[in-house]
Structure 1
Amino acid sequence: MRFRKGLLPVLATTLALAAACGSGSDGGGGGGGGTASAAASAGTATLSRSTASTPATWNTIPAPSSLQCADKAPNPTRGITDTSIKIGGLGTLSNAGTSTYQETDLGAAARFARENAAGGVFGRKIDYIGMTDDGSNAQQNADAGKKLAENENVFAVAPVATPIGAYADALCTNEVPAFGWSFNNGLCNRANTFGFTGCLLPDKYNSIQYGPYVELLKDSSDKSVVLLGVDNSAARQGVADTKASLERAGLKVVMTSNALQFGQPPADPSSLVRQIMTANNGKPPAMIYHVTDFVNVTALAQTMTAAGYKGIQISAVGYDPRLTGLKALDDTYTYLQWLPFQSTDNATVRQMADDVTKYGKGAGLSITSAMGWIAADMVIAGLKATGKDLTVDKFLSTLNGPDFHYGDGIFLGKTTWPQNHFYAAPCATAAHLKDGKYSLAVPLVCNDPYAN
């Protein structure tokens, strides 16, 4: 499998942000579901834990009464013919000469290709024109949104894979639906944009997914946690909100630090290591949560292991098949918002892996290819729910209506709209990397969100 050198640094930036998302910071498969849940509790946390056949559930918070970008489409049949539906992606494909979300593009193309091979949606094939590159530049990002809406005249934009949200204004003006993992604010608070796990950057609500941390410590009498973040205002707010969430869940945050510099691990980490190793009343904590970038996670995780730390180390940046041989991440955990590719007993995971392998043009079974596949799958779920008589307005009305949801509570947390325009589905999993192999450490588990 060919490694794209630019992937991990950029992805790590966004995933570190997503790890503290669901906080009011500045910074699968559509259809199925169920009503039963397996409950588990630890401390003051009440969780709903999925099994192979039983979904995890959660209670929504009422959404505000009004939404931006809820007008009628100026061209309600834009991108639609009797035989095709035109869709384009938008994301960061180049950044100082390196590739970034290319596999997100390929993952989406794979899902659309399988649907087309089966005859399309109500006889309409998906005309996927690929992902427009924003070059990690705000102006180019805005121009890409305008190009897709006004020059390409796409029905929808999927996947969106960029930390920049400047594209959203043009999509709003033209009422273009958009889909992606919402680590940019363009996928929040708008009636026409959908983060497939909800809004990860909410203005008002704290819906941090604390379930995996509780589950990993549920059999331990020691519930102590250290939170490590970088030194900027968004990260400080994210760490503070994460601390509040974990403590509400019954865990004990014994230390927080935002002393790290983004992308620059300390030359001499000895002082920080000493603080961590004595943070729990003179002892090491039960868990270290690295809410940082890839470079800091790998450096600090390795340093802590070398210092004799035996507890749990978890981050949002340690899951990728190309990392299995990286010794620095051995015996660490990664927070995810859906089941990893290793969960081959799950039908959605098997279908996603089969699609990427068959149609993905060399894409790896990675978090980035999954991002594209899931975004495309949500679009297809929405098209099928809308029916053959398709317009932009009918499509958006369906997705924002009471009868549509995405996610089954087993592979991916169930999202409902318009509620999840405003906050994230508080559901997550955890994968464990040990001896060069990933395994599922925590199946999908959900907690109830709460207002700040």
Structure 2
Amino acid sequence: MPGPGPIRTIALTAALLLATAACNSASTQGSSGKETGSSARGVTADTVKVGGIVSMTSASGYSKKDTDLGARARYDRANAEGGVNGRKIQYLGAEDDGQDPAKNLAAARQLVQRDQVFAVAPMSSVTFSGADFLDRQQVPTIGWGTLPSFCGPKHIYGFNGCLVPMPGGTLNQTWPEGLAKVLGGARGKSVALIAGDSDAGKFGIRTFKQGFAAAGFEVSYAKASVPATALPNDWSAYTKEILRANGGKAPDVVVSVMQTPYNIGLFTSLKRAGYKGLITDPTDYDPGLLTKDTTRQALDGVLVLLQFQPFEADTPAMRRFKEDIKKASGGKDVPLNMHMMTGYMSADLFLSIAAKAGKDLTVESFQKAAAAFSDTGTLVGDRAEPKGQKESFGCGALVRLKDGRYEVAVPFTCYEPIPFA
């Protein structure tokens, strides 16, 4: 949580932005900021204006910049096919929030008050301080539902559903059930969970602790103890705790709910200490990570959770995804990564709901279409709203890095979610 100083700074910044916006333009759907001929902010007779918010940069060096490329690839195809009900998508690109809560809120305000977007898709960051603002302003927002703000607010959607539900929702069991398949069953197997010391990390530990226990694992260690804003230089203290967590012995599985720079440090330390069990995380599916020997060695053998079809899958939807990314990259065969998929499927869900909203695209018609939306066979499985605002779509796969290449360890499968308490 930010301390009193940052909170006051954010509040002051927000007040200044509001004052400036009041002088320049109104920000609600019924404002004078609407474009000529439209019945909604950001919508004209032949265009729909959309923007994004993505962590392009961060203090640790971690970047989700390719989320923007993935979104652009999907919007480009939609426009090539005639747009949505005759309107072309005017994609403004993504604002960089630097994983900073103040910048996330500022980006949300800029997109609505200055740029007058109809929707924000994609939104992908470890912070989403702009969520309340976007929901109040009735801005359809779609992104990677890894934060609680994707679970409940009326106008906010996760492209693969709500991944961190509140009590009364459900938990996606892809990760524990997939690992149980790799191990030949979860009974008698222990797991250690580790995350960053942040609200998101603590919530992640809470949810995964319940999910792994429900799958039959013994959770011998579960801590959100790693500094979230400062990459540790020495991982030995964390490694020692983990390797003694199972009654003085090492657990069968180490689950990291952290980003790549942290994972590289932790996994390297575990391997140097002689750890022989399974190591797994939800972020390191990126061929670009394999260009450095140290990174490739740290990730060798690691099982990565995916909540979409693996790039290795030979399906019509995956072939089309690859073609779209290549076109958006100027005809180049660029290395694929999960951030591209995040942007692509965020855009895809927006386009799919907007298409069902009909020719008269307004926030009301979009929300009405979302309230009865469903489709099947997508890269994230079967989708349905408003189910996705309370639970995930329940599908995923596990891939393993082996000899410098990713291979499918557990094929893309859908699992029944469990109630979250």
TM-score scaled by length of structure 1: 0.74
CA contact (8 A) 2:380 2:393 kept: no
Give the aligned partner of residue 391 of structure 2.
423
Q: Which of 221-230 and 157-166 deviates more?
A: 221-230
Give the aligned partner of residue 334 of structure 1.
304
Give the aligned partner of residue 404 of structure 2.
436
Give the aligned partner of residue 190 of structure 1.
153
Match of 1:378 among 349, 354, 357: 349
The alpha-carbon deviation at position 184 of structure 1 amounts to 4.1
- C-alpha offsets along residues 111-144 of structure 1, whole Å, 9 cap, x if unaligned? 1111211222232221112123334443433233
Seen in structure 2, the aligned counterparts of structure 1 residues 165 and 254 have a Cα distance that, compared at 3 Å, is: closer
CA contact (8 A) 1:83 1:125 kept: yes
CA contact (8 A) 1:411 1:444 kept: no
CA contact (8 A) 2:191 2:251 kept: yes
Greater relative CO, 1 or 2 (CA 8 Å, sep 6+): 1
Seen in structure 2, the aligned counterparts of structure 1 residues 97 and 121 have a Cα distance that, compared at 3 Å, is: same
Alignment of 1:252-267 (within 5 A): 252-262=218-228, 263-265=230-232, 267=234
CA contact (8 A) 1:163 1:184 kept: yes
The alpha-carbon deviation at position 156 of structure 1 amounts to 1.5
The alpha-carbon deviation at position 348 of structure 1 amounts to 1.6
Alignment of 1:110-189 (within 5 A): 110-189=73-152
Which SS does the other structure have where 2:279 is aligned? strand
Give the aligned partner of residue 301 of structure 1.
267
- Larger helix proportion of the pair: 2
Unpaired segments of 5 or more residues in structure 2? 1-27
Counterparts of 1:434 and 1:241, CA distance in 2:
29
CA contact (8 A) 1:312 1:332 kept: yes
Seen in structure 2, the aligned counterparts of structure 1 residues 204 and 439 have a Cα distance that, compared at 3 Å, is: same
The alpha-carbon deviation at position 201 of structure 1 amounts to 3.6
Which SS does the other structure have where 1:217 is aligned? helix
The alpha-carbon deviation at position 196 of structure 1 amounts to 1.1
CA contact (8 A) 1:93 1:100 kept: yes
Counterparts of 1:395 and 1:154, CA distance in 2:
14
Return the letter of the residue paired with 2:92. I
Return the letter of the residue paired with 2:374. H
Counterparts of 1:134 and 1:230, CA distance in 2:
19
CA contact (8 A) 2:256 2:281 kept: yes
Q: Which of 420-429 and 316-325 deviates more?
A: 420-429
What is the alpha-carbon root mean square deviation over aligned residues? 2.9
Unpaired segments of 5 or more residues in structure 1? 1-71
Seen in structure 2, the aligned counterparts of structure 1 residues 304 and 378 have a Cα distance that, compared at 3 Å, is: same
Seen in structure 2, the aligned counterparts of structure 1 residues 183 and 245 have a Cα distance that, compared at 3 Å, is: closer
Counterparts of 1:92 and 1:396, CA distance in 2:
27
Seen in structure 2, the aligned counterparts of structure 1 residues 334 and 156 have a Cα distance that, compared at 3 Å, is: same
Identity percentage of aligned residues? 31
Q: Which of 138-147 and 352-361 deviates more?
A: 138-147
Whether 1:79 and 2:42 are equivalent positions in the alignment is yes
Which SS does the other structure have where 1:414 is aligned? strand
CA contact (8 A) 2:171 2:419 kept: no
Match of 2:379 among 411, 419, 444: 411
Counterparts of 1:84 and 1:207, CA distance in 2:
37
Seen in structure 2, the aligned counterparts of structure 1 residues 374 and 232 have a Cα distance that, compared at 3 Å, is: closer
Whether 1:316 and 2:282 are equivalent positions in the alignment is yes
Return the letter of the residue paired with 2:201. A
Number of positions where the alignment pairs a residue of Structure 1 with one of Structure 2 = 376
